[in-house]
Amino acid sequence: MHEDAYKILCKKLASKGLDVEGIKQRLKQQRIETPSWGYSDSGTRFKVFKQPGVPRNVFERLEDAAFVHKMTGVAPSVALHIPWDATDDWQALRQFAQELGIEIGAINPNVFQDDCYKLGSFANEDPGVRQRALEHHFECIEIMRLTGSKILSLWYADGTNYPGQGDFRRRKRYFLDCLEQVYTRLKGDERMLIEYKFFEPAFYHTDIADWGIAYSFAIKLGEQAQVLVDLGHHPQGTNIEHIVAFLLDEGKLGGFHFNNRKYADDDLTAGSINPYELFLIYCELVADEKSAKNVVYMIDQSHNIKPKVEAMIQTIMNLQTAYAKALIVDRKTLTEAQKAGDVVTAEQQLISAFNTDVEPLLAQVRTEMGISPDPLSAYKSSGYLEKIISKR
């Protein structure tokens, strides 16, 4: 029984001076945003794999997201991608979300699929193309206000495939000029998050290739501009937790796109390839929760062969596990060991927390929240998949 394992774990944590009730409260307050596009059919550049019961429109995507929230209790918002989620009545969509017990999260403009963006959007040499991209951003800001969103989430495919194709400096200036025009449209409680990606779809250079470029733009723009870290958008071996700590300390970490990768931007389930890395990232977030209080935790995954809703629940559970393990690190001993130069003891505090089975703790938290201690099993026995297959 999880109750017995929970009591044993509580004693262990209490012996380290950890506040179990406080840890439980923080776990209950965890918030993870799911992406509307994660519920739709998707695939690789070679094939889109159809699945039964997949949503046919944005309203049905919200239904799936609401059920994920019902199963997990920590996913109350949904990110939208425009125009993928376009509707004629944004107020009705907002009301529909509220009736489902969720809300609209980040709004993501799309300036990478239209033919005119073949050579870039904000970095395009054609001022008409840049203006078209700007108008789309302005439209997305209006959608934010109609849906109650406060976050404009920005990713750009802009880059070049061959040396000499474009002028790096000119493209940078185009980008900054356009981003400034977007920034000036924001109200005081709205933010824009600038994402980066070191390669693909352009294979010679990307205009916003890493966190430093995104950070530089955010610094120039102002306090309402921050950096968005996508875990799959880094070269192999990158120390992402260091980037997270640096941006947190600068007040410039705005949000995450959680996923995982083996080779490139694989969009794999968060925590499926390198759970220790995910844990270390959460350790940095826990270490500076004051700076992290406004960070938006978003999932960015397209589950190509996994069942959509089930995969989203699995991802959220992985994120809960990583957070729980980060919360039980003995930080007093860790800090003392760091200051004393005791490398082994310092590292062991992280290893010990990572190796701890926190499932009894999470099961207890879920039970107290009025949901199943095992969301995946609850989903499988809920009949929801069969229901949406029949309906859709």
DSSP 303: -
Least confident of 39-43, 60-64, 128-132: 39-43
Mean pLDDT within 106-126: 98
Give the pLDDT confidence of 316-334 residue by residue, as tens digits: 999 999 999 999 999 999 9
Instruction: Give kind and range of the element (H or E) at residue 183.
Output: helix 168-183
Mean pLDDT within 342-347: 98
Burial 169-196 (b: 16+ CB within 10 A, else e): eebbebbeebbeebbebbeeebbbbbbb
The total number of residues shown for the chain amounts to 392
Average of per-residue pLDDT values in the chain: 96
| Spatial distance between the Cα atoms of 199 and 205, rounded to a whole number of angstroms | 7
pLDDT at 92: 97
Domains of the chain: 29-329 (3.20.20.150)
- 235-244 contacts, C-beta under 8 A, 24 or more apart: 235/198, 236/263, 240/277, 240/281, 241/277, 241/280, 241/281, 241/283, 241/284, 243/211, 244/281, 244/284, 244/285
Asked whether residue 350 carries a pLDDT value surpassing 70, the answer given is yes
Asked whether residue 144 carries a pLDDT value surpassing 70, the answer given is yes
| Alpha-helical runs (H) found in 184-266 | 211-221, 240-250
Q: Whole-angstrom distance between the N-terminal and C-terminal Cα of the chain? A: 39
The pTM score is: 0.96
For 257, the token pair is 């796109």
* pLDDT bracket for residue 1 (50, 70, 90): low
Mean pLDDT within 179-191: 97
| Spatial distance between the Cα atoms of 282 and 327, rounded to a whole number of angstroms | 9
Which candidate, 227, 321, 272, 297, places its Cα nearest to that of 35? 297
Asked whether residue 166 carries a pLDDT value surpassing 70, the answer given is yes
Asked whether residue 47 carries a pLDDT value surpassing 90, the answer given is no
Q: Which residues pair with 49 in a beta bridge?
A: 42
Task: Tell which wins on pLDDT, 43 or 1.
Answer: 43
